[in-house]
Amino acid sequence: MIGGGIIVLLALLYLALPGLLAQRLASTLGKMSGLTFSSASSHFDFSLPGLSLDQARLANKAGQSVLDAESLHVPFSILWSGIGAPISFENAALHAYAADGREHFTMAKINGSSILNSDGSFATSGTADIGQIHAIVEVSLVSLPRALNEGSPADLTLSSKLAKAGYSGRLKLKDGFDLAGTMNLETLDAAALFAALGSNLTAMQPAWPLNITGAVETRDDVLFFSNLEGQLGSMKALGNASYSAPGGRPKLTLDLGMDVIDLSLFGLGAPSPVGPWSEKAYDLKGLDSIDAIWHISANALRFGRVETAPGEFDGSLKDRILEASFATKDAQAFSASFSLDSQGFQPVFEASFKASAVDGKTALHSLTGFDWLTGPTSISGKFSSSGDSPASMVSKLSGNLDVQVSAAQILGVEAASLLQSAATQPVEGWNGGVTEPVDGTMSLTFSDGIGSISDGNFTAPGVSANVSGDVDVLRQAVEVKVFPSFAGGKTAPSIAARGHWDKPTFSADKSP
């Protein structure tokens, strides 16, 4: 009987012990963290030298999951002392919440272990997924109880194939998380990093390195970055920034000083007028990723071959509407504004610019892809259009363009001989050579992608002329008339130029 009673008692203890150990674990974790341990859905296995739990979960007072894991192994020693041995976990997730209860941050697929020492210091290491980045994570705290309540000194490092990041300072995890310390971030491919974090900036060119260091702190669910020093590709910046996620949508603000803003980072400033316009739809997914406001003081804005004087770059991105402007300190030298509204079925854009005494070759090449004009050029324009591809945008282009050149040089044509030859027989294409110096003005008014020339005139060695007609930007064709006057008062018939602008046909105009 006695032997049978002992067997029954041992059997009851075996059945009851996991539940008792779970209660002890809940009490220990509750004292350490002030959180509630949920065991309602957990399965407990009594196995030396500890307790294994399936579907374990830690919750805050609001019932929100702070930590959950498919498997959690707890040594016996920690159930009574709370110290001395590591807790290991598999496929866990860590959740942080803003003060209003919204989930602010999630780290998933965590595998590793943690250890709490007798002095309250805490360390954990393992692997985890942050967005699409699989990283090695290491965290150390001077005091876990303090970190879970009033805050504790902490060090955090993340390393992956894509990026490395670190934080050192104060960490508080109660009611969300609070930071006050220094941070650093380094990646060899900024575009890939942003894409992995959910901000797919498809316009950004690949393989641009990014390095950032600075101070960081949280206030009212906003991350504030100060004394930032950063480098993106060849661009360097100093200043401040903030990041928040109201309503779950990221919002970034920037107040920076930069050596140069290089728009080639986003593939701008190198257009090509050769061949038909692309009918491939624009990829504007990047406008869905984030809202932003920025003010940047720069020593220069680089757009293709154009580099401006120091100026201010301001803009915003909100609800798929992008607005930006840049002006040099001397507003007459260069100013530009741009807006893109992608809320509707087709994107709508508006742009205006004004540049005084820039080099024609660098300016026109960067804006249009042409490189046949060089010399002092003043250019201004205002355009609008809509469409989902370059071809559709060009076909609906409207606005105006004014160009003025002084002592310029036109490459690929000798104007006087071309017009004289065309008066007697057709000339196919430009005749080569150089025309210089050239003074002239031209105004174009655009509607549905066709620019009508008004007030077009030029003066060059041996010839002066007035010009009128149309430029079809979509077809890349011209149909214009030139009314020349040659040196010595020699008269000539008007000359018609028709065909693709790379190789038009020049002939005596026989139209009525």
Q: Please say which residue of 369, 396, 423 terminates a domain.
A: 396
Q: Please say which residue of 396, 422, 450 terminates a domain.
A: 396
Residue 342 forms part of a structural domain: yes
Question: Angle at Cα 179 formed by Cα 178 and Cα 182, nearest 5°?
Answer: 175
Show Cβ contacts of residue 443 under 8 Å, excluding neighbours closer than 6 positions: 400, 401, 402, 403, 453, 454, 455, 456
Residue 255 forms part of a structural domain: no
Are 313 and 392 found together in one domain?
yes
Query: Residue 276 — φ and ψ, nearest 5°?
Result: -70, 155
Are 331 and 391 found together in one domain?
yes
Q: Cβ(69)–Cβ(183) under 8 Å?
A: no
Residue 351 forms part of a structural domain: yes
Quick check: helix, strand or coil at residue 220? Answer: coil
Are 364 and 418 found together in one domain?
no
d(CA 322, CA 165): 30
Residue 317 forms part of a structural domain: yes
Are 384 and 416 found together in one domain?
no
d(CA 127, CA 138): 9
Residue 128 forms part of a structural domain: no
Are 389 and 463 found together in one domain?
no
Residue 361 forms part of a structural domain: yes
Q: Please say which residue of 396, 431, 455 terminates a domain.
A: 396
Are 499 and 418 found together in one domain?
yes
Are 354 and 470 found together in one domain?
no
Are 465 and 498 found together in one domain?
yes
Domain of 392? 263-280+294-396
Residue 225 forms part of a structural domain: no
Residue 81 forms part of a structural domain: no
pLDDT values of the chain reduced to their tens digit, one per residue, 512 residues: 444 454 444 444 444 455 555 565 566 656 555 556 555 545 556 555 667 777 777 777 777 777 788 887 777 666 555 556 788 888 988 887 766 677 767 888 999 988 877 787 889 899 998 877 888 999 898 987 788 788 899 999 999 888 899 999 998 877 667 889 999 999 888 777 777 766 655 555 656 788 999 999 988 778 899 999 999 888 899 999 998 877 667 889 999 999 998 877 766 655 655 667 888 888 777 777 788 999 999 998 887 667 788 899 999 999 889 999 999 876 567 888 999 998 888 899 999 988 887 776 666 666 666 677 788 888 899 999 999 998 999 999 999 999 998 888 888 899 999 999 998 899 999 888 888 899 999 999 999 999 999 889 999 999 999 999 999 999 999 999 999 998 877 777 899 999 998 899 999 987 76
CA 103 from chain centre, in angstroms, equals 24
Are 343 and 388 found together in one domain?
yes
Are 353 and 478 found together in one domain?
no
Are 495 and 436 found together in one domain?
yes
> Would the pTM of this model clear 0.85, i.e. be above it?
no
The token pair at 208 is 């641009």
The token pair at 34 is 């002030």
Q: Cβ(235)–Cβ(274) under 8 Å?
A: no
Q: What share of the chain is helix, strand, coil (3-state, %, to 5)?
A: 15, 55, 30
d(CA 402, CA 389): 26
Are 388 and 497 found together in one domain?
no
Q: How many domains does the chain have?
A: 2
